[in-house]
Structure formats: C-alpha cells, structure tokens
Structure 1
Amino acid sequence: MPQLAEKVPPSVAGAVLRAVFALPDPVRRLIAGRAVVRDGQRLALDAQLLLLMTRLEGASLTGATVPEARQGLARGQRYINRLPERPVRTRDLAAADGIPARLYEPKGLAEGSPLLVFFHGGGWVIGDIESHDSVCRYLAVNAEVRVLSVDYRLAPEHRFPAAADDALAAYAWAVENAAALGASPEAVAVGGDSAGGNLAAVVGAFADRRPDFALLFYPATDMSVRRRSRELFADGFYLTDADMVWFSDHYCPDVERRTDPKASPLLADDLSGFPATYLVTAGFDPLRDEGEAFGERLREAGVRVAVRRQEDLIHGFANMWGLGGRFQEALAEAAGALRTGLL
C-alpha cells in the first residue's frame, strides 16, 4: 500500500511544510511538543519540527529496495528545494573516464575563481547531482566559487572502492582542467557531506596534488568501529543506526576491507599532508563522534583544522537549508569558512 508521502504531490507537501515552518515559534513549539535534550544538547525547534513531519508521512532514508530508497530521497528533497536569489548557470559535463559532473557558476563571478569539487552524500548508495543541486548552488553563491559536483558510481552496482576511485579521478581531472572550467588551478578545494565527506577526506588524504582546502559536512570516517554517538542517536534523528548498517553492507560488504583507509580515512597512517579543513558535525547524529575523531587526528598531524559541532542539529542539515532558520545559519557558516579558507 502506498504511503501518504507517495500520494501527496511534492509541491503540495512542500507548501504544507513551509507553511508550518512559517508559524510563530510558540505555535511551532506546541506542534513539536516538549523540547528534546540528549547528551547535554537541546535539539533545535526547526530540527524537531522537521523530524515530526517526516515521521507523520512515514519517510525514511532506506527502503525495502535500493530503487525505493533512491526515489524516496529524490522525492523528499523536492519538498525543501530552494534556489539562491543570485542566478547560477549550470553545465553538465564529463570528468575523468566519463564520470558525470555538473559545473555551477554564479552570475558575475570573475574568471579564475576558486573551485570546489563536491561529492554528494547518500551512504554511497543513494543521492546524485540532483539531490544536492540546491546545496551546490548555495555554496557557489555564498562562497564565491565555482562548484563541480561529481556523480560518482553508486553501490551495490559498484561497490567499494568504485566511489573512492571515481572521487580521486574526478578531482585530479578538475585540477588539470581548472583553467578551462574558468577557475584557478591554484585554489581548488574538495568537499562533501556524509558519504561525500568520506570521499572528500579520501581525496584530501591520498590525492597526488592535495587540495587547497577541505569542507567536510558530518563525514563518515571509520566503518570499522561503533562509537558512542551511534548508540545515543541510533533512532529518531533522521539518519539511524539501521540506515548506517544498510549503507555499509551495500557499499562494502566485505567487513575485512572496511579498515582500508580509502573506506575509513580516519585509519590512514599519515594525515600530515591533509589540507586546511573546516569540519562540521551535527550534535544529534550517529556520525558525530567519528567525524570529530577525524578532526582530532588532523589536529594531531599538524593540520590547520576548525572542528565545529552544530550541537542542536541533525544529520543532513545542509540539504535542509531551504527551510531557513538554523539549517540555513549552519550552511551559511560553512560557506563563509570555505570562502575565507580559499583567500
């Protein structure tokens, strides 16, 4: 039987969601219920309200099948997509070995701008250029950069290390072709969220020509160990522990290979050559602790790194910026860090 979310057109569901978010805070608090406090952190009202709406429509990140999970993410993103006011020109192209990619160029951006090579999240199984189109537009406009979004191969059709190999190849191609893309080859950053943050970390650790900056949103950095945040936020906060198991089993079913640093960059022997980094985690996120552990490894290796915990937010907040409020504030901070880091 189709769920309610499948019966309601995305435009209608999106309008309802925006209407609820536009209500006065006292009314929104009545709808959301008592504030959620865990591990000394208070969940943002914006996040609590979105989680409630998600539960009411029966949505989840993973589905009974991979196609269903991919369709679900695509549909959910259409609810909250929003475009920056400044126009952004896009161009679809092929990177190394024919890897699909999309170039984002804000109107009026001068030639020779910095370039961000971006890898979307989705547990290496779901997500694509379209699911992160709004995020890339926002970063392009607010960080004054060109963005190359990479559509790397997904599991289970292409298991580890396919995504990591594509990320390294696409990044190397971007550096080599930066001038042709209108960007400076001397100011190339790498970034990504969740699984995309994992791939960006792999590039930062293993690329022959290291990036000039890394922007990591709640990255997955260690597939081999369960940390405390996996237990604290196992269910009820968008990304669940069961989702993580599902993603890992599809991407790298061979458990012994999960200690490979190209699957778990936290386990790399030497991170001293990693670029200067802004790494942001979410307080109510199963991935929180491994992301922060990676930041600590970078600090120990002498890397210039800013580790920022948005303690009142949930996994995936970058994609939620279209709802405004705390989601947009957190993404704005990251965009500012990227812009400053590439000066």
Structure 2
Amino acid sequence: MNSRLDSAFRDTATAVQANALTPLYALPAAVRRRLAGAPVQIDGNTLDPDLQLLLKVENLLPRTTKTDAATARAKFRALCRLIPGKPAELQRVTDLTVRGAAGQLGARLYVPRDAGRGLLVFFHGGGWVVGDLGTHDGLCRAIAADAGIRVLSVDYRLAPEAPAPTAAEDAIAAFTWAVDHAEDLGVDPGLVAVGGDSAGGNLAAVVAQQSVRRGDLPRPALQVLLYPAVDLVARRPSRDLFSEGFILSEADIIWYRDHYTPDPTLRPDPIVSPLRAEDLTGLPPTYLTTAGFDPLRDEGLDYAKALTSAGNPLTHVPHPTLTHGYANLLTLPGKTRQAHTHLVNHLRSVLH
C-alpha cells in the first residue's frame, strides 16, 4: 500500500471508531480493493475483499480480552453497530414476551408490509453467551422485509448465568409457543419455521431434532441453519485453518464452549451437539449455509452430509469467499449481500 492510501485508510479507520464503517464502504470498489491489500487465499478459496477490508479495520480497533461475559457482550454490541445501514421499512415492530422453559422471555415480532402467512422463529448467534435482540435487529428486519414473512426474534437466556441446556430448552418452548399462538401472530401454524446463525443455528437444529424425537412437539416447516455450531466435541481441519483473524477465533470457540457447557460430559449430548444424534431421520427440510473462511465450516459440512444421508430434504449453500458472521454484515456490498438475497428468496419461496 502506498503512503497516500495508507494515510487515507488510517484517517477513515479513525472515523470508524467514532461512527461506523459507512464512509469506508462508500469509496469506489477499486479503492476498497487496494485498501484491503493482497488477496487472501486459503484452502482453495479467496476471501471477499470487502470482508478482508473489514477485518483490517477491526485489527486497528482497541483490543479487549474476553475476561467476563459482561465485557464480551458490550464488545459484541459495539461490533454490531459498526455497519448499521438503513433499517428496513416494515409495517410494524412489536416487543412482546413468549414462553420459555421456566418463565417468560423477551421477544420481538417483525411484520413486513407484504406479509405472507409464514413465520421464522429466529435465535441470534453469539456463542450462547453474547448477543441479544438489538445485535440482530438489523438482520431480522431485513429478513422480514425482503422475504415477506414475519420474524419472531427470541431473547433466550444466556450462559454462564444459564448454562446448557437452558438455551436449548428455552428455544424449544419459544418455538412451541409460536406455533400455539400462530393465529394471534397472523400466521399459518403449518408455516412456522425455525432458524438462527452460529449458536442460534445450533438451537434451531436442536429444536428441529427434538420436535421429531419428543412426540408432543410441533414440527417446523423449515429449519434455517446459518453457519451453525453443531459439534462441541470434535475438532476438524477448518478450526486450524481459520483459528485466528477471521472474526471467530479458536480462543473464542473454546471460551464460548466452556461458558455454555461447564460440564464437559454434556457436550456429546444432541441437546448440545446436534451432529452427534444417532438418528437424524424424519427432520424438516433444511436450508444450511457454510462459509469458506469459518472455523466452523467443516462441522457444518459434516452436518449437511449427515442430513442428506438420513434422507432429509436439504438445500446447502456454501459461501466460499465469506467468513463466520457474514449474515450480520448484510449492508456490505458484494458477496455478503448476495448471500442474504439467496436466503430471503428461499424463505419467500417456502413460507410466503
């Protein structure tokens, strides 16, 4: 990078710390590519240059160690505000409560202007420790607006205050509540799907499995698993390939795992590691995505194979140029936005 570009980059990065990344991504694509630096190529994939630029900016921001859950939650909220974008216009957004495993949970219902009769019950990512309704508000708004479906985002209880399997049981109870109250929510009880990103994808997968294994639960019309965490036991090659520098690090994975499952003997249980279920037959149709630069990539690929081997309908969408967490970065141009478009088109085709 020449000195002029380097100076411009640092000036913009300083502005980013005070505001957001919007000014940086308003630059011409050719300039952004030069600021990002030489292409990053690993395991046959080339990192999306706009994501590469984001990672470069993140490296300039002050470092905070995950010493406690409160600090980690504050940092995650701050990162989610870096690229706020313009909130999608909806008919209404309503805060409400839903049934959890042991009392009421906060939730938020997003209703688009052209709402069909479908509903996505959504569980946010964040390693079962961080994240909330606010960190995923932009994503849920965009899904509702672009897919033309209602979205119910659930604020399940977090670890370490509520270790596993609390979040899973909250997710099961909240999904069941949504189906039971489908008419009140303005949706068809047969068109209620479950989904989430990362740890939220884990919870969605657990809901789908338990809806089949427990005879008294309703079944989702679809499960949406965005780069899900599905195995808290085994370590696969992608954990080494992308252990540092791609949003989710190896240290993060271990820190989240230890907070969610302080009892290691619980980790092989399918209520925590859905990939380890002995029987995967009879599950609802699945939309599953993996990211090429994600330490969780290989367990997502293994789950896709296991679902197919068990005879379940599967739409697996690999995004070889993207990183873990791309769904929350939908205001970035290029491949991240294309991934969002593919997701909402699928949701519209199945649930609208």
TM-score range, shorter chain: over 0.9
Distance 1:109 1:43, change over 3 A: same
Aligned with 2:133 (options 120, 129, 142):
129
Query: Is residue 260 of structure 2 the alignment partner of residue 254 of structure 1?
Result: no
Question: Which residue does 1:28 correspond to in 2?
Answer: 32
Query: Is residue 242 of structure 2 the alignment partner of residue 272 of structure 1?
Result: no
CA distance in 2 between partners of 1:275 and 1:53 (Å)? 40
- Give the length in aligned residue pairs: 332
- Whether the 8 Å contact between 1:280 and 1:309 is mirrored in structure 2 is yes
Distance 1:86 1:11, change over 3 A: farther
Question: Which residue does 2:292 correspond to in 1?
Answer: 283
Query: Is residue 108 of structure 2 the alignment partner of residue 102 of structure 1?
Result: yes
Displacement of 1:108 in angstroms is 4.0
Question: Which residue does 1:5 correspond to in 2?
Answer: none
Structure 1 residues 318-327 or 255-264, which shifts more? 318-327
CA distance in 2 between partners of 1:308 and 1:323 (Å)? 19
SS at match of 2:194: strand
Normalising by structure 1, we get a TM-score of 0.93
Query: Is residue 184 of structure 2 the alignment partner of residue 180 of structure 1?
Result: yes
Question: Which residue does 2:11 correspond to in 1?
Answer: none
CA distance in 1 between partners of 2:239 and 2:178 (Å)? 35
Displacement of 1:10 in angstroms is 7.4
Aligned with 2:70 (options 67, 75, 78):
67
Counterpart code for 2:145: V
Where does 1:20-99 land on structure 2 (aligned, <5 Å)? Answer: 20-59=24-63, 63-96=66-99, 97-99=103-105
Runs of 4+ deviating beyond 6 Å: 8-11
Gaps of 5+ in 1: 1-7
Question: Which residue does 1:4 correspond to in 2?
Answer: none
Query: Is residue 305 of structure 2 the alignment partner of residue 296 of structure 1?
Result: yes
- Whether the 8 Å contact between 1:88 and 1:137 is mirrored in structure 2 is no
- Whether the 8 Å contact between 1:100 and 1:150 is mirrored in structure 2 is yes
Question: Which residue does 1:244 correspond to in 2?
Answer: 253
Distance 1:284 1:122, change over 3 A: same
Cα offsets for 1:136-173 (capped at 9, x unmatched): 01111111110110000000000000000000000000
CA distance in 1 between partners of 2:339 and 2:138 (Å)? 15
Cα offsets for 1:113-152 (capped at 9, x unmatched): 1010000000000000110001101111111110110000
Where does 1:96-245 land on structure 2 (aligned, <5 Å)? Answer: 96=99, 97-109=103-115, 113-207=117-211, 208-245=217-254
Displacement of 1:76 in angstroms is 1.5
Distance 1:307 1:254, change over 3 A: same
Cα offsets for 1:83-138 (capped at 9, x unmatched): 4543341111111131111111012425xx10100000000000001100011011
Distance 1:10 1:177, change over 3 A: farther
Distance 1:236 1:206, change over 3 A: same
- Whether the 8 Å contact between 2:330 and 2:340 is mirrored in structure 1 is yes
CA distance in 2 between partners of 1:83 and 1:252 (Å)? 37
Structure 1 residues 332-341 or 80-89, which shifts more? 80-89
CA distance in 2 between partners of 1:199 and 1:69 (Å)? 20
- Whether the 8 Å contact between 1:120 and 1:196 is mirrored in structure 2 is yes
- Whether the 8 Å contact between 1:187 and 1:342 is mirrored in structure 2 is yes
Gaps of 5+ in 2: 1-13, 212-216
SS at match of 2:267: helix
Cα offsets for 1:20-78 (capped at 9, x unmatched): 21222222222111000000000000110000011111356x62221111001111111
CA distance in 1 between partners of 2:311 and 2:184 (Å)? 33
- Whether the 8 Å contact between 1:164 and 1:262 is mirrored in structure 2 is yes
| Root-mean-square deviation (Å) | 1.7
- Whether the 8 Å contact between 1:280 and 1:307 is mirrored in structure 2 is yes
Normalising by structure 2, we get a TM-score of 0.91
Cα offsets for 1:172-226 (capped at 9, x unmatched): 0000001101111010100000000000000011122210111110000000100
- Whether the 8 Å contact between 1:83 and 1:137 is mirrored in structure 2 is no
Identity of aligned residues (%): 47
Distance 1:125 1:102, change over 3 A: same
Structure 1 residues 171-180 or 329-338, which shifts more? 329-338
CA distance in 2 between partners of 1:277 and 1:105 (Å)? 23
